[in-house]
Structure 1
Amino acid sequence: MAFPETIAPEESSAERRQRTRLNAREGTRVLIIDDSKTILAVLKKFLRSAGYETIEALDAESGLELMRQHRPQLVFLDIMLPGMNGFAALRQIRRDQQLRDTPVIMMSGNEQAMEKFFGTRIGADDFMKKPFSRYEVFFRIERLLDENLIPKRLPPPSALGPASRLPL
Structure 2
Amino acid sequence: MASNKILVIDDSRVIRVRVKEMLPPGNFEVLEAKDGLEGLHLIRQERPNLIMLDFLLPKLSGWEVYQQIQNNADLQKIPLVLMSGRKEEVVEKIPEPFEYFEFIPKPFEQKELIGAIRSAMAKARLPRKQAPVNTAVSSPLPIAEAGSSAEIQILKEKITNMQAEIDGLKQQIGQIMLLIKQNAS
Greater Cα offset, 68-77 or 94-103: 94-103
Match of 1:131 among 107, 121, 129: 107
1:104–1:125: 8 Å Cα contact kept in structure 2? yes
What TM-score, normalized to structure 2? 0.59
Is there any run of 5+ residues in structure 1 with no aligned partner, and where? 1-25, 150-168
What TM-score, normalized to structure 1? 0.64
Greater radius of gyration (CA)? 2
1:104 aligns with 2:104: no
Q: Which amino acid in the other structure matches residue 5 of structure 2?
A: R
Counterpart of 1:34 in structure 2 is 10
Counterpart of 2:134 in structure 1 is none
Of structures 1 and 2, the one scoring higher in RCO (CA 8 A, sep 6+) is 1
Q: Secondary structure at the match of 1:49?
A: coil
Q: Secondary structure at the match of 2:11?
A: coil
Give the structure with the larger helix fraction: 2
Shift of 1:120: 4.7
Is there any run of 5+ residues in structure 2 with no aligned partner, and where? 126-185
Total equivalences in the alignment: 124
After superposition, the Cα gap between the structure-2 partners of 1:60 and 1:97, relative to the gap in structure 1 and judged at 3 Å, is: same
Could you list the runs of 4 or more consecutive aligned residues of structure 1 that deviate by over 3 angstroms after TM superposition?
119-124, 144-149
Output one character per residue of 1:15-71: Cα deviation in whole Å (capped at 9) or x when no partner. Answer: xxxxxxxxxxx7321111000000000111222624432111001111111111111
1:80 aligns with 2:56: yes
Q: Which amino acid in the other structure matches residue 139 of structure 1?
A: G
